[in-house]
């Protein structure tokens, strides 16, 4: 199963695709969509078109987007929320159910600590996906989101199988 993870951002939005085959995980692709400067509607459109292109080319079967945290800068949080909405729309329009994870849960799942530094996330992504070279910290975070979703999907599948077997 192919899983796409997205770390939303208006200036830089990371994406990463992994393949899950039982316990085996394999890096497929990653990248960063950069929107430059200019009017926000044009930047959001560019982000949407780029993410839709990634989804079309990579053909994921599952998707996850990191949830937005609220910070002190209300305007920045609003822009991040708009970019996140575009990311969710891009994968939902492809017919995918979207998993959503808080940044601390992603870090806890991949690194083992909910307040891990970006360098630790990058290191653990590279350890779990040998040969992958994220093109930015945003792409590494997106791969971490994909890994988190893959782990949670596997756990929920095992739980469902155990419940079905007990009946």
Per the annotation, where are the binding residues?
A: 7, 66, 138
Active site residues: 7, 66, 138
Q: Going by DSSP bridges, is the β-strand pair 98-101/62-66 parallel, antiparallel, or unpaired? A: parallel
The three-state (H, E, C) secondary structure of 113-165, written as one string: CCCCCHHHHHHHHHHHCCCCCCCCHHHHHHHHHHHHHHHHHHHHHHHHHHHHH
The two tokens of residue 145 are: 């989101």
Question: From CA 156, how far away is CA 98, in angstroms rounded?
Answer: 15
Non-local CB neighbours of 79 within 8 Å, separated by 6+ positions:
10, 40
For 28, the enclosing helix (H) or strand (E) is strand 24-34
Q: DSSP code of 96?
A: -
User: Which residues are part of a known binding site for Mg(2+)?
Assistant: 7, 66, 138
Three-state SS at 63: strand
């Amino acid at each position: 199963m192919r899983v796409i993870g997205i770390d939303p951002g208006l200036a830089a939005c990371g994406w990463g695709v992994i393949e899950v085959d039982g316990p085996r995980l394999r890096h497929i692709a990653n990248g960063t969509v950069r929107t430059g400067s200019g009017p926000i509607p044009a930047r959001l459109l560019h982000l949407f078109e780029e993410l839709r292109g990634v989804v079309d080319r990579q053909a994921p079967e599952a998707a996850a987007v990191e949830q937005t945290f609220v910070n002190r800068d209300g305007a920045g949080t609003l822009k991040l929320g708009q970019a996140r909405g575009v990311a969710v729309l891009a994968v939902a329009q492809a017919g995918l159910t979207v998993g959503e994870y808080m940044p601390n849960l992603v870090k806890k799942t991949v690194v083992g600590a909910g307040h891990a530094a970006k360098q630790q996330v990058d290191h653990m992504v590279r350890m779990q996906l040998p040969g992958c070279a994220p093109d930015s910290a945003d792409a590494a975070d997106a791969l971490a989101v994909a890994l988190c979703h893959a782990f949670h999907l596997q756990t929920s599948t095992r739980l469902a199988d155990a419940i079905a077997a007990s009946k």
